Amino acid sequence: MKKIDFDFKNRTAIVTGGAQGFGLDIAKRFLSSGAKVIIWDTDLKMTQKAIEVLNNPNLSTNIVDVSNFKEVEKCTNEVIKNSNIDILINNAGITGPTASLWEYDFEMWKKVVDINLMGTFNCCKTIIPNMIKNNYGRIVNVASVAGKDGNANASAYSAGKAGAIGLTKSLGKELADKNIAVNAVTPAGAKTRILDQMTKEHVQRMLSKVPRGRFLEVEEFTSLVCWLSSEENTFSTAAVFDISGGRSTY
């Protein structure tokens, strides 16, 4: 796939869940396009591996649980001491177990929603004041087609991602009078480690719904996120961008 050139020079981006999967590829593309990138992740081992793989002096990392507001606030304050935050990619998320709602473990259901929805809220709440101060920002919230369609036996994940979509629409309108764009992306299943959290039956059921007949490639997803994060995106905000291979058409 031919890659389009983006210019992120003099921009600082925070990518949550950036140590693997979508987040790692986004961080890689941002770095190659001139940005300074800060990865926030909870997995120390994967974060150390990401540092080795990316091998770029413009990369820094923090071990952060995005569902913990105090941790997010502390890390945000550390960043803005030395730099503005121009781009926020709310990518951190977990699918949780596959189970019917009435059999779903209460604490696990709450954990899934806390990371997928509250994590997005926490990062936006702490970072947006810096964007408002500088009248510039690009926020991309990684949701899912599950947040639009609802996946059976994935109520926590579907609810958390649906919440992230609603948050995006509301926040985008709140910031529409400023040079700050807030958008969501709704990918279908992709070839990332998140599929390992699901049963083979659940994965096959997901794939059967995609008219393209295949899973999303990570690089395809990154290209969309990069455009939404760039200065070229001067008008689109409070929107949901589908990248589901035809599964969702609304």
- The larger pLDDT score, comparing residue 237 to residue 191, is at 237
Give the pLDDT of residue 215. 83
Q: What is the pLDDT of residue 194?
A: 63
What are 178-236's pLDDT values in tens digits? 999 999 999 987 766 666 766 788 778 878 888 887 888 999 999 999 999 999 999 99
Strand arrangement, sheet containing 239-243: 59-63, 36-41, 12-16, 87-90, 137-142, 180-187, 239-243
Looking at the annotation, which residues are catalytic? 157
Q: Report domain 12-243's class.
A: alpha beta
pLDDT bracket for residue 131 (50, 70, 90): very high
Domain boundaries, the chain: 12-243
The pLDDT tens digits for 42-68 are: 999 999 999 999 999 999 999 999 999
pLDDT in tens, 72-118: 999 999 999 999 999 999 999 999 999 999 999 999 999 999 999 99
The H or E element containing residue 220 is helix 218-229
β-partners of residue 99 are 154
| Per-residue confidence (pLDDT) for residue 53, from 0 to 100 | 97
Contact call for residues 141 and 164 (beta carbons, < 8 A): yes
pLDDT band at 16 (very low <50, low <70, confident <90, very high): very high
Instruction: Tell me the whole-structure pTM to 2 decimals.
Output: 0.94
Distance CA 180, CA 144 (A): 22
Nearest alpha carbon to residue 132 among 176, 69, 71:
176
Amino acid type, 78: E
User: What is the arithmetic mean of pLDDT over 138-165?
Assistant: 96
How far apart, in Å, are the Cα atoms of 89 and each of 97, 103, 200, 208?
A: 25, 33, 29, 29
pLDDT greater than 90 at residue 247: no
**What residues contact 87, with CB distance under 8 A and at least 6 apart?**
8, 11, 12, 13, 14, 30, 35, 137, 138, 139, 140, 229
What does the angle CA 21 – CA 25 – CA 30 come to, to the nearest 5 degrees? Answer: 145
CB 10 within 8 A of CB 19: no
Sign of CA dihedral 149, 229, 63, 51: positive
What pLDDT shows up at residue 176? 98
In whole angstroms, give the CA distance from residue 188 to residue 250: 14
